[in-house]
Amino acid sequence: MSGDKKIPDREDVLSTVIESMYSTRILNNSHRGDVAEALVMMALGDEWNFVGLGWHPWDLQYGSGSNRIRIQVKNIALRQIWGKTKSPTLVFGWKSNPPSYFERDNPGVKIEDEGYFCELFVFCLHLESDKENADQVDPRQWKFLVIPAKDLKSKRKSMVLSKALDKWTPVKWTGLEEKIETVANKL
């Protein structure tokens, strides 16, 4: 082994991570979540802030204080690395209390005593189940459900996808920003 190897720079590391984790057509669950968040951020533009690093209770935020709008981005894919999803389900994640670390990491930021900790859910739906056609990095293959938290029964943790599709109409990426604005204006 040679000790003369060049130490990779930041760009080399990023390039290797992106190539190894995001270049396949079917993504690992955790990496697919990153893609879903990126798709929503790219649709919304610079007025929205990404705050979801780590285990933050919401992912995107517009404004601050009592005028803020918080979005949790979730995703469902019919095709997984291990095969097809048998029963696609939206998981809302009702919590009986805020995360124990929230005040430490967000001093002075108000949060509910319990709840969903967001005003909106954006569920990114990748509904292509055919392994040969699925490409989970292609924005054209995604649809998006924008669900106001106030539309959900208190403490609801999940809902099967078919029932959600009966209640809310998905939009394509090109209509996502307008849909979020329309729903947010009714909050």
Q: What value does the mean pLDDT take over residues 62-70?
A: 92
Where residue 93 falls among pLDDT bands split at 50, 70, 90?
confident
Interhelix angle 176-184/29-44, nearest 10 degrees = 70
CATH 3.40.1350 corresponds to the domain 27-184: yes
Residue % of the chain over a pLDDT of 70: 99
**Looking at residue 2, what is its pLDDT?**
61
Q: What value does the mean pLDDT take over residues 117-131?
A: 96
Average of per-residue pLDDT values in the chain: 94
Q: What value does the mean pLDDT take over residues 51-68?
A: 90
pLDDT tops 90 at residue 65? no
pLDDT tens by residue, 10-58: 999 999 999 999 999 999 998 999 999 999 999 999 999 999 887 899 9
**Looking at residue 54, what is its pLDDT?**
77
pLDDT tens by residue, 97-110: 999 999 999 899 99
pLDDT tops 70 at residue 1? no
What are the residue ranges spanned by the domains of the chain?
27-184
Length of the chain, please? 187
